[in-house]
């Protein structure tokens, strides 16, 4: 068991930002529950984390684009007797075809994975965090949430939902010792663009626009531990976000908390 006595559940843990979060947290002596569809990759990662950091690493192969995905994951954690103290909602994808040309089952899977499952997993683990008076939740949004919407794509709208939802939950849960952060990376070296089928276009972008997943993770984790509701990692992304949003995110957060007519 880890010296922290706490466990992090990481979705989309088989590669990219998810795998980097798993390494980052294991290095800080958090036990980890690794979630993704590719069981073989998860087992390889779990073995590496155990040998390298001496932590407990459990594998849950689950498809979070299916409606039963979130309950499958949390039920398995309960069976293992592991409370979830940290939730990293990282699993994601984006359609490479426009909305009207995408079959509905693919659209529904995208929404299930990045809207419903993110929200449901958060809802399922929050009561335990409240009881223990401690929790950390990182929801992967995107620099796209701070950008103009892309024609025919749901990705920007989905990530905007994640951004706004995370800030709202952070307002609600902070009094219980729970910090929620929307992590908004820009272009990050991972398999994301291979899955989308946009690798050639991505490779044409200037190198200075790209970040390594380890750098994104380090800045995101520091942000949630510091209680920052929004983190845009990297100086280039920060400049881009500032140019696209006339009102800074921090001020929007304060306004949203202060002038809530439904309080």
SS3 call for 203 = helix
Cα separation of the two ends of the chain: 42
The CB density around residue 239, as the number of other CB atoms within 10 Å, is: 11
Q: Could you confirm whether 159 is annotated as catalytic? A: yes
C-alpha span between 99 and 152 (Å, rounded): 5
Q: Quick one: which of 157, 182, 186, 159 has its CA closest to 171?
A: 182
Strand partners, 135: 178
Q: Which of 30, 53, 159, 228 is catalytic?
A: 159
| 7-11 sheet: strands from edge to edge | 57-61, 31-36, 7-11, 86-89, 135-140, 178-183, 230-231
> Parallel, antiparallel, or unpaired for β 135-140 and 86-89?
parallel
Among residues 28, 30, 130, 155, which one is catalytic? Answer: 155
53 is catalytic: no
Taking Cα atoms as reference points, which of 206, 115, 213 lies closest to residue 163?
A: 115
Find the angle CA(178)-CA(246)-CA(164) to the nearest 5 degrees.
30
What DSSP assignment string belongs to 226-249? TT-SEE--SHHHHHHHHHH-SS-H
Residue 258 CA to residue 66 CA, distance in Å, equals: 37
Distance CA 30, CA 7 (A): 5
Helix (H) or strand (E) holding 34: strand 31-36
The set of catalytic residues is 155, 159
């Amino acid at each position: 068991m880890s010296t922290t006595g706490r466990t992090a559940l990481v979705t989309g843990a088989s590669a990219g930002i998810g795998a980097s979060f798993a390494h980052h947290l294991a290095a800080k002596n958090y036990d980890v529950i690794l979630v993704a569809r590719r069981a073989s990759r998860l087992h390889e990662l779990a073995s590496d984390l155990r040998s390298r950091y001496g932590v407990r690493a459990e594998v849950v192969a689950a498809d979070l684009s299916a409606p039963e995905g979130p309950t499958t994951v949390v039920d398995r954690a309960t069976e293992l007797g592991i409370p979830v103290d940290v939730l990293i909602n990282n699993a994601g994808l984006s359609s490479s075809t426009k909305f009207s040309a995408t079959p509905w089952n693919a659209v529904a899977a995208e929404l299930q994975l990045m809207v419903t499952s993110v929200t449901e997993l958060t809802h399922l683990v929050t009561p335990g965090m409240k009881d223990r008076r401690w929790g950390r939740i990182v929801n992967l949004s995107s620099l796209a949430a701070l950008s103009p919407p892309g024609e025919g794509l749901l990705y920007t709208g989905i990530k905007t939902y994640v951004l706004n939802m995370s800030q709202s939950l952070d307002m609600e849960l902070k009094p219980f010792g729970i910090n929620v952060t929307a992590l908004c990376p820009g272009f990050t070296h991972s398999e994301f663009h291979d899955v989308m089928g946009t690798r050639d276009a991505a490779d044409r972008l200037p190198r200075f626009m790209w970040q390594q997943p380890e750098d994104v993770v380090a800045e995101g984790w520091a942000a949630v531990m510091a209680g920052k509701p929004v983190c845009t990692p990297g100086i280039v992304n920060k400049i881009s976000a500032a140019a696209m949003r006339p009102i800074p995110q921090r001020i929007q957060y304060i306004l949203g908390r202060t002038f809530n007519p439904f309080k």
